[in-house]
Amino acid sequence: MIPELGQFALILAMLLAALQAFFGIVGPALKRERWMAAVTPAVSGQVVMMATAMGCLVASFVANDFSVAYVAENSNSALPLFYRVAAVWGSHSGSLILWIFLLGCWSVAAAVGTQRLPKPFASRVIGVLGLISFGFLLYTLATSNPFLRLDPPWPDGEDLNPILQDPGLAGHPPILYTGYVGLAVAFAFAGAAMLEGRLDRDWARWTRPWTTAAWAFLTCGIALGSWWAYYTLGWGGFWFWDPVENASFMPWLMATALIHSLAVTEKRGLFKSWTLLLAVLAFSLSLVGTFLVRSGVLVSVHSFAASPTRGTFILAFLIVMIGSALALYAWRAPLLKSEAGFELTARESFLLFNNILLVTACATVFAGTMAPLISSALGLGKLSVGPPYFNPTFLLSILPLLALLSVGIHARWKRGNLSDRARPIVLTLIAAAVVGCAVVFGLFTGGRVLSPVGVALGVWIILSSLVDPIDRLRRHITIPRAVLGMTLAHIGLGIFVISITSVEAFTAERDVALAQGQTAQLGAYEFRFEGIRPIQGPNYSGVGGTVIVTRHGSPVAVMYPEKREYWVQHTVTTASSIRMYYTTNILIALGQDLGDGRWSLRLQIRPLVTFIWLAALVMAAGGMLAISDRRYRLARAAAPELSAVVPAITRSEAG
């Protein structure tokens, strides 16, 4: 009964999404007031139906209803309740439901947020979102329905993949998805502007907070995923340039470019068509990411054939969605001209380079991710592309970007006058270089060629970001929240660069074989293996080791790395033990029994690794702070007056 209710809700949601799209897009085109008024009820109904579907799926999991195929494949009666709920998005079909539900939530938020904007524009935004919802719902119902029944029902489920049985599953996918889906709102704003054929600086001001919000969620989601990988996967890595990781990173790079390009469009009325293109590309990349990786094409060319319906549908959906957006773009972009000028050393130039470098970096990641696929398709042979490709090629664009940021942040709009600002630029650079060399050659020994460069760049970014806010404070000028947010985000980036450099350069790692009572040395630490004991969990059993860590003889920690075997899938996982300190992380993973009472252990010391994730949170917090700026609230309050004078607002068209 409950699964059928869920299925019914999904169908209703799809019909409501169709109405939402139709009234939202056709209404303004035919100037039908009533049609436009129907958009808000349609989107509200859609999200209620999606919440119902989501609730029905959760209920089926909680009730262990193994007559539902999706539940039977992804849960088990021994699975703790917490994971039974999180298992809803533990696999393909359920995560689509979450995706569409979150899209519905963003759509309602957008409907509320655009209430005071000109009616036709607001209606088109929600209409475009409705189109996306409709496409996804059609895909879900046609190829990936999570409510399908089994006859006869299975006695018990196949269990959730043990690697997903971690609190991280509750937080990481929803937050990352919120970011992914949020880019749909920026896309919808771009779509509405293109449908209207009008794009002015007000448009950029309306779009900015939505884009920044999506970006902040995406940042948090990627960081959480990286952290989760670090502590659950057992090997102590946090980024491997895997297709799945890249799929989330490419939209992030595009969204970062979009945020900066929107700033120029809002301030100067420039880069309009470029901004539109970025908004389309950012969301397209999250679609490609969601779909291509999910369908397994990136892993193996054969898996496309494994599920031909899904594969074909995905391709058709991508072509229709991205293709029509690009066609609309090609038609409208030439209309968006601007006569504004700027000098070579003006802020606009630096932001232009920011965009070029970010897009190049994104294209590089794209090329590397797709290379195995392209190479096979063209008959050039099978290829693997790993970190030895991504690291240098990515840095090729990113190192100049970091250096330009530290200079460009001092630049003014329109007129160059960078020579006025030579003093802070040179002073911060000297300070950064001194700190960089001191840290790398003094505090630590060794490191690589790029280590002092990395630390210096990070310090330079932080110092440069602080120059302007400190200057304002000294002159008793209030700092707008947008500037404060930008400063915070850039400081986060600086911290990120410093910590990733130190992790790359100064990680110490050693695999050892120890018997009870034996000791191994790594860096300044001694690790004493105290033997193995059996452990028992709710749905697994295994062995746990005890390791006493000391530093120059004084005790630091007692650590318990585990090796678990989950009963249902007979899967063995490594639960490494991690101690986080401010400046360093110690990780111990338990390997295998080597006989004679000896066990293999992986010991790892990573300096500053925690700051990689903290830095990402600082960046996201900066984004959120910027959204709360007064300007965006004023923009909304001022909008009704504008809409009274529409449709003749061409005021900033010339800007």
Q: Select the residue interacting with another protein from 1, 30, 34, 339 (CB under 8 A).
A: 339
124 or 267: CB nearest another protein: 267
80 binds another protein (CB under 8 A): no
36 or 247: CB nearest another protein: 247
Q: Least CB distance from residue 34 to another protein, whole Å? A: 39
119 or 481: CB nearest another protein: 481
d(C-alpha 596, C-alpha 160), whole Å = 35
18 or 72: CB nearest another protein: 72
Decide: 161 and 243 in contact? Cβ < 8 Å. Answer: no
Q: Select the residue interacting with another protein from 353, 444, 560, 567 (CB under 8 A).
A: 353
**Cis peptide upstream of residue 28 (ω within 30 degrees of 0):** no
Q: Least CB distance from residue 1 to another protein, whole Å? A: 26
81 or 344: CB nearest another protein: 344
Decide: 420 and 477 in contact? Cβ < 8 Å. Answer: no
Q: Select the residue interacting with another protein from 3, 27, 157, 173 (CB under 8 A).
A: 173
Q: Least CB distance from residue 222 to another protein, whole Å? A: 7
**Cis peptide upstream of residue 152 (ω within 30 degrees of 0):** yes
d(C-alpha 2, C-alpha 426), whole Å = 67
**Where in 221-250 is the site for another protein (CB under 8 A)?**
222, 225-226, 228-229, 233-235, 237, 240, 242-245, 247-248
**Where in 555-574 is the site for another protein (CB under 8 A)?**
563, 569, 571-574
d(C-alpha 277, C-alpha 287), whole Å = 15
Decide: 455 and 435 in contact? Cβ < 8 Å. Answer: yes
135 or 236: CB nearest another protein: 236
Q: How far is CA 434 from CA 267, 430, 438, in A?
A: 36, 6, 6
**Where in 295-314 is the site for another protein (CB under 8 A)?**
296, 299
**Where in 275-294 is the site for another protein (CB under 8 A)?**
289-290, 293-294
Q: Can you name the residues that pair with 585 across neighbouring β-strands? A: 580, 606
412 binds another protein (CB under 8 A): yes
Q: How far is CA 560 from CA 52, 162, 486, in A?
A: 43, 19, 42
**Location of structure tokens 């995560």:** 95
Q: Least CB distance from residue 303 to another protein, whole Å? A: 9
Q: Select the residue interacting with another protein from 469, 480, 523, 597 (CB under 8 A).
A: 480
d(C-alpha 132, C-alpha 50), whole Å = 14
Q: Select the residue interacting with another protein from 21, 53, 137, 352 (CB under 8 A).
A: 352
Q: Least CB distance from residue 515 to another protein, whole Å? A: 12
**Where in 578-597 is the site for another protein (CB under 8 A)?**
589, 591-592, 594
653 binds another protein (CB under 8 A): no
d(C-alpha 237, C-alpha 230), whole Å = 5
41 or 416: CB nearest another protein: 416
Q: Going by C-beta distance under 8 Å and a sequence separation of 6 or more, which residues neighbour residue 505?
A: 440, 444, 446, 447, 448, 451, 454
Give the dihedral of Cα atoms 310, 306, 98, 316; nearest 10 deg. Answer: -20
Q: Select the residue interacting with another protein from 60, 95, 265, 406 (CB under 8 A).
A: 95
Decide: 355 and 281 in contact? Cβ < 8 Å. Answer: no
Q: What does the block give as tokens for 559?
A: 């650590």
**Where in 434-463 is the site for another protein (CB under 8 A)?**
none
169 or 195: CB nearest another protein: 169
Q: Select the residue interacting with another protein from 51, 356, 399, 466 (CB under 8 A).
A: 356
Count, residues near another protein per rule CB under 8 A:
104
Contacts 24+ apart (CB under 8 A), 169-173: 169/83, 169/86, 169/87, 169/89, 169/90, 170/82, 170/85, 170/86, 171/224, 172/221, 172/224, 172/225, 172/228, 173/89, 173/95, 173/98
Q: Least CB distance from residue 236 to another protein, whole Å? A: 10
92 or 119: CB nearest another protein: 92
Binding to another protein by CB under 8 A, coded x per residue (else -) over 111-150, reads ----------------------------------------
**Where in 512-531 is the site for another protein (CB under 8 A)?**
512-513
Rg (CA), the chain: 27
Residue 553 one-letter amino acid: G
Q: Least CB distance from residue 225 to another protein, whole Å? A: 4
Its sign, for the CA torsion 268, 271, 275, 278, is: negative
33 or 593: CB nearest another protein: 593
Which H/E stretch holds residue 517?
Answer: none
71 or 128: CB nearest another protein: 71
CA angle 529, 532, 534 (to 5 degrees): 155
Q: Terminus-to-terminus CA distance in the chain, angstroms? A: 59
Q: Least CB distance from residue 88 to another protein, whole Å? A: 10
**Location of structure tokens 């911060």:** 428
Q: Least CB distance from residue 180 to another protein, whole Å? A: 9
**Where in 13-42 is the site for another protein (CB under 8 A)?**
none
Q: Least CB distance from residue 473 to another protein, whole Å? A: 15
337 or 551: CB nearest another protein: 337
Angle, helix 201-232 to helix 609-627, in steps of 10 degrees? 160
61 or 342: CB nearest another protein: 342
Q: What one-character-per-residue DSSP string does 187-240 give?
A: HHHHHHHHHHT---HHHHHHHHHHHHHHHHHHHHHHHHHHHHHHHHSSS--S--
**Where in 373-402 is the site for another protein (CB under 8 A)?**
375, 380-389, 393, 396-397
Q: What does the block give as tokens for 12?
A: 């209703």
Burial of 334 by CB count in 10 Å (0-12 exposed, 13-18 middle, 19+ buried)?
exposed
Q: Select the residue interacting with another protein from 4, 33, 511, 593 (CB under 8 A).
A: 511
Q: What does the block give as tokens for 620?
A: 């996201």
111 or 181: CB nearest another protein: 181
Q: Select the residue interacting with another protein from 55, 153, 168, 597 (CB under 8 A).
A: 168
Q: Select the residue interacting with another protein from 131, 160, 185, 277 (CB under 8 A).
A: 160
Q: Select the residue interacting with another protein from 403, 483, 557, 649 (CB under 8 A).
A: 483
**Where in 597-616 is the site for another protein (CB under 8 A)?**
600-602
